[in-house]
Amino acid sequence: EVQLVESGGGLVQPGRSLRLSCAASGFTFDDYAMHWVRQAPGKGLEWVSGISWNGGSLGYADSVKGRFTISRDNAKNSLYLQMNSLRTEDMALYYCAKSGGSGTYYNNWFDPWGQGTLVTVSS
């Protein structure tokens, strides 16, 4: 069974940093692209970032470009999101999601999703 377990969320002050992790199991991790998608409280879904199977291709939403960095460690079956210069508008539940059927991060759907880790940005 595919499992994605996010961790690293918490309360952080504006301007500070946080690193999210996603531990993957139940599939060959380095065969698939991976993504982060977030959902602000009571709001819709927003794609944040994606990374190809080998980390060679990656992309970001404009809202996080230059502040967030996605990475992966295939030896540890893990995905990461380094979030710097956090803003109140970054407050959300952050989901890790596996790409549907592809190692590139192009033309991806997301399946499955983890249960999310909550990031709260407040002074």
Residues that bind another protein (CB under 8 A): 35, 44-47, 50, 59-62, 95, 100, 105-116
Looking only at the bridges linking them, the beta strands covering 45-51 and 78-83 are unpaired
Helix H or strand E segment including 72:
strand 68-73
In the bound state with another protein, the residue whose beta carbon lies nearer, of 18 and 52, is 52
In the bound state with another protein, the residue whose beta carbon lies nearer, of 9 and 50, is 50
CA distance linking residue 116 with residue 29, whole number of Å? 18
In the bound state with another protein, the residue whose beta carbon lies nearer, of 15 and 109, is 109
Q: How far is the CB of 75 from another protein (least distance, A)?
A: 26
Q: How far is the CB of 87 from another protein (least distance, A)?
A: 18
Q: Is there a contact between 81 and 68 (Cβ–Cβ < 8 Å)?
A: yes
Q: How far is the CB of 72 from another protein (least distance, A)?
A: 17
CA dihedral 61, 23, 13, 37 (to 10 degrees): 30
